[in-house]
Amino acid sequence: MGRLSLACGTLALISIILGSRTSLARPQPPGVFTGPDILRYFQHIWVPDYPWAARRNRVSGRGTYRAYVQPSGKVSRVVVVQSAGLRELDDAVVHAAMGWRAKPGKKREIDFPMAFVPPAR
């Protein structure tokens, strides 16, 4: 079930990214996207900052991360499962996700995707 949810989330994430690249009406700001199912688990999510160096160089990337959640809902650790391709992107996700708060419950590990997409030219 977890892999199916991740697969569905990944497909939705790809469609969001592709949709954001086809808009020609006005320039889009750089985007940071998460999987749509993430709100099922987390009550408070902070979107990571798009690192300036990555934005300036129009670097994009998609990665998968694992948050270790305590019964209180506090995230105790975040690890990179699959890198977004640039350490600064991974660091931004880890830093932001450490401040997330999940719904209280049992101790768990939650994998989530994150994508960084530069604005259209």
Mean pLDDT estimate for the chain: 78
97-101, long-range: CB within 8 Å, 24+ apart, which pairs? 97/46, 97/48, 97/65, 97/67, 99/44, 99/46, 99/75, 100/42, 100/44, 100/45, 100/46, 100/67, 100/75, 101/42, 101/43, 101/44, 101/73, 101/74, 101/75
Question: Whose structure tokens read 């768990």?
Answer: 108
What pLDDT digit, counting tens, does each position of 15-57 carry? 344 444 444 455 555 455 566 778 888 999 988 999 988 988 9
Predicted model pTM? 0.71
Q: How far apart are CA 27 and CA 33, in angstroms?
A: 17
